[in-house]
Chains A and B, each alone.
Chain A
Amino acid sequence: MYRLILITRYLLKRRITHFAIAAVALCVFTVVVVMTVMIGLVGGFKEKNHAFVGDCVVGTESLVGFPYYEEFMTLVEHSGLVQGVSPVVKSYALYGTEITDNYDNVEIVGVDPVRHSQVTNFAQTLDFNGHQPQKAFVPTYDANLPGCILGINRVSRPDPRGQYVHYDAPFRASVTLMCFPLNAMGALVGAGTNPTVTKRFYYSDDIHTGIAAVDFGYVFLPLDQAQLLCMSGQEKRINALYLKFRPNVGLQEGCRQIAELWRQFQADKAGAPNSFLLEGVNVQSWKEYRRAVVAPMEHEQLMLSMMFTLVGITTVFIVFVVFYMVVNSKKKDIGVLKSVGASNTGVLSLFQGFAFGVGLVGSCVGIFFGWLFLTRINQIEQFCYKHFGIQLWDRTVYVIGAIPNQVDPSALAVIMSCAILACLIGALVPSYLAVRLRPVETLHAGRM
């Protein structure tokens, strides 16, 4: 009981303690704000990538692709593991328009829009046909023309606030795509003459995923058109199957079972024409499949955390100094306590409890002000942009909408724990010095 009374008294009466609380609060505030924004960006980016490819991908890096995918799709659909499967053709093409002389590179993705919408957020990201993805490749101005879906940056540019101009309906525009069609052996079709295929498509919709590479450089085509453009041969081929698991199927377990199904399927197909193409196919979870794009952002987050840990050392120093002062000025209290029977453990827990209190109050104050700042961070940015032309991110350069400001309770718990731990570490040596004090020395007349 005496410990609680003393801790409360020290917290309220010792003004120097307030500096330690202020230092802890300052650090916690900064860390909460920066990490919330970072976690929001990384989490949002991961979520967008997850939504873009579904839960699991059975695919190959080779643009030659693999055959017999329809049989495997049937197998997977009957396994009870998935709620949707979407075959995908992925390749590169040269992209030309009616208004420019030059062609640029794009990544073309051939999909069945209905199937793809069952597996990914494809329909939700369409500008015009979100509610009827089956019509996504049908130009409204002429239903007989072959349609294509363009990344939104190919038809519109974001304003400085990141907003795109949206039209009521797709305007009439054609694009020309040139590809290297590959046969099952990986050889160019028509080699010796001109081994390329050129086809014109018409703008039927655009897609806004929030993933820069997709919004800038992707063109979606009907699956059969993409197969014609990029592949040739007896068996139809694709480059990947995107899968969405049923809600009761875990990611790792689902991927493991699909991998097992694939091994069996591959074994069954041994000896079939071009079955060697099945060998280069991997089964990956969305995390593995998109690791190359997601991992750098996770590293950024890690590096920022490491830097804040270094800065947090200063907080440990401040707590150390404050507690050193408190112990020095409270020698008589400690002497009295020990002379009336307080144990060494009791004195140690008194100062560690005090440190806990400093950490708790400091981190609560820091979190409160951090939360207050975060709830207004977008308004503050808008105000700064309106009056001073300052933006945290130029939205014409970065594919970032509003600044993420959703506080993550688990991150708060970690930050608070770290702040309290820093206080406990900072108070450790002064607490030990307090424990070693001898009442006879602190209470003798000369010192009184």
Chain B
Amino acid sequence: MLKLFLWLKYVRRRRIMLLSVVAVAVSVALLIAVASLFTGFIAAFEHSAVEAIGDIVMRAPDGVRFEKYPQFIQRLEQSNLVEAATASLTAEGLLRIEGGNVRPVAIWGIEPQSSARVIGLKDALICQGKAAGEPSFAVPDAPQETGGFVGIAVLTKPDEQTDQYDKEAVCKEMLNKRVVLMAGTMELDAKGERIPHRSTIPFRIVDIVFAGTYLLDSSLVYVPLDVLQKELYPRETSPVATSINIKLKPGTDPDRAVEQIRALWRTFATNELNWGPMAVGLTTIRTSRQMQRLYIAEFEKQKHVLEVTFGVISFSVVVLVFCIFHMMVKLKQKDIAIVKSCGAANSSVIGLFVGFGVSIGVAGSGLGAALGYAITRNINEIEGWISILFGLKLWRSSVYMFSHIPNQVDWNSALLFAALAMAAATVGALLPAVAAARTRPVEVLRHE
């Protein structure tokens, strides 16, 4: 009770104590915001990969293509692991939009209906995303023509100031436009020599893709799987694909599922396709997280580097708390002497100041966590205001991949930083508390 009374008195009389609360709060808020931004970015990166390619991707070895894939997909979907699977054919190419406007693109041959069940295709389509039914490449009023979807950043640039796309304008200008796609493969000729085979695919843009991930929006072109197959591999008589994209049933562990899918594939490829063990072994089956592992590891490393940097600077909070408590002990020596002369033990005096330090830490961490939460949740608005007030666009999708700054609070990091801040405040208060405990009442009170 006495401790509480003294703490309240110190806070009321010595406003400077509030400074330590503010310092702790600023450090905690900054660390939470930085950690949340990085964690959110990594999560968004992983999520965008899942949305773009599915939970698990099977890739055929270089120069080999999956045959009879519909049967394998059927087997996958019959297993208790897979919710849906779809085949795709990928290649790099050049898209000529008009005149001298040629763009390098990544071509995806897909079956839109089955793909929509595996990847986040429908939500990313500007026009068909809002409409009922499954996505389709059908060209309105010209069913004989080939249709395709093109990433929005392939067709236009975002506004320099706002980094937003004028979707209405780009749809108006580009929908139904006839463009030409070029891709190439190497073929073996009659003599067994590799000769280049070039393919040109004219198609009409029937929808525009806005996934919110610049890497995809600036490179993706979707065309019908059968059309791409016919152009790239005209000699193939049955359907072929280079990848099989898989969406797992909810709650399925992707890492364990990979092993089970590998076993399924081994059986199928050996029995149905007559593949040898080498070709089976060269087929890559990986989760989308495994495919991004190298980059995610680097992002996490950069996050830790920044946390350590700010953590070192935040060490000055310990110094600040120490200074304030040192000052308080100096100024309140008479209080301490009276308390001790009334019989308080050294441990009680230490407890008084350390407890006060902990309280400062709790208050600062709480305030910092609230501030960090507010900053993180409103980071897009804050960035928008900075852009309006100073004309400085800090976040661009072309630089940071995503059109929005991730704004989910990383509560694990927040709790860790709050705990560390409390520990820092306690450590800062410890030495002055010991100094207070060593106060000798007879020396301090003799003038009285």
Contacts and interface: CB of A to CB of B under 8 A. Distances in A.
B184 A103 contact: yes
B194 interface: yes
A288 to B, nearest CB: 13
A62 B315 contact: no
B200 A105 contact: no
B309 interface: yes
A207 to B, nearest CB: 19
Contacts, number: 183
Given A26-B312, A30-B312, A307 B93 contact: no
A317 B313 contact: no
A180 B96 contact: yes
Contact of A318 (B99, B186, B314, B316): B316
B23 to A, nearest CB: 5
A94 B92 contact: yes
Interface stretch (A50-58, A68-76, A142-150, A188-196): A188-196
B93 A19 contact: no
A157 to B, nearest CB: 13
Given A101-B62, A101-B185, A314-B316, A92 B102 contact: yes
A227 interface: no
Contacts of A62: 99-101
Interface string B280-311: 00000000000000110110010001000110
Interface in B6-39: 16, 19-20, 22-23, 26-27, 30, 34
Given A19-B323, A314-B317, A180 B101 contact: no
A26 B313 contact: yes
Contact of B309 (A30, A185, A318, A328): A30
Nearest to B90: A102
Interface in A237-258: none
B273 interface: no
Contact of B399 (A60, A299, A307): A299
A324 interface: yes
A100 interface: yes
A226 interface: no
B132 interface: no
B298 to A, nearest CB: 5
B323 A96 contact: no
Contacts of A102: 62, 91-92, 184-186
B377 interface: no
Interface in B238-277: none
Given A92-B103, A103-B91, A30 B183 contact: no
Contacts of A100: 62-63, 186
Interface string A294-325: 00100100110001101101110110111011
B278 interface: no
Interface string A372-411: 0000000000000000000011101110000000000000
A182 B100 contact: yes
Contacts of B92: 94, 102-105
Contact of B19 (A65, A176, A315, A321): A321
A92 B97 CA distance: 13
Nearest to A98: B194
Contacts of B200: 194-196
Nearest to B400: A296
A261 interface: no
Contact of B327 (A103, A182, A325, A396): A325
Contacts of A392: 301, 305
A13 to B, nearest CB: 15
B182 A311 contact: no
Nearest to A398: B298
B27 A311 contact: yes
B320 A30 contact: no
Contact of A303 (B19, B94, B305, B394): B394
A34 interface: yes
Interface string A332-371: 0000000000000000000000000000000000000000
Contacts of A311: 26-27, 30, 310, 313-314
A353 B91 CA distance: 69
A379 B91 CA distance: 43
A176 B196 contact: yes
Instruction: Give the most central of A20, A22, A30, A101: most B CB within 10 Å.
Output: A101
Contact of A314 (B101, B298, B309, B313): B313
A186 interface: yes
B161 to A, nearest CB: 14
Contacts of B100: 60-65, 182, 186
Interface string B78-95: 000000000000011110
A314 B102 contact: no
Contact of B183 (A92, A103, A313, A396): A103
Contacts of A101: 62-63, 185-186
Contacts of A96: 184-186, 196
Interface in A83-106: 91-94, 96, 98, 100-105
Contact of A34 (B16, B198, B309, B322): B309
Contacts of B105: 105
Given A101-B63, A314-B317, A317-B320, A186 B295 contact: no
Interface string A38-62: 0000000000000000000000111
Contacts of B327: 16, 321, 324-325, 328
B313 A27 contact: yes
B193 to A, nearest CB: 10
Nearest to A184: B100
Contacts of A65: 100
Interface in B65-124: 91-94, 96, 98-105
A329 interface: yes
B102 A19 contact: no
B316 A26 contact: yes
B204 interface: no
A23 interface: yes
A178 interface: yes
B180 interface: yes
B323 A397 contact: no
A62 B104 CA distance: 14
A325 B98 CA distance: 73
A19 B322 contact: yes
B314 A397 contact: no
Q: What 9 A-B pairs come out closest when comparing CB atoms?
A: A186-B99, A62-B100, A64-B100, A105-B104, A103-B184, A63-B100, A296-B399, A325-B327, A104-B92
8 contacts: A23-B320, A91-B102, A102-B184, A187-B99, A314-B316, A321-B320, A325-B323, A325-B330
Interface of B: 16, 19-20, 22-23, 26-27, 30, 34, 62-63, 91-94, 96, 98-105, 180, 182-186, 194, 196, 198, 200, 294-295, 297-298, 301, 305, 309-310, 312-317, 319-320, 322-324, 326-327, 330-331, 392, 394, 396, 398-399
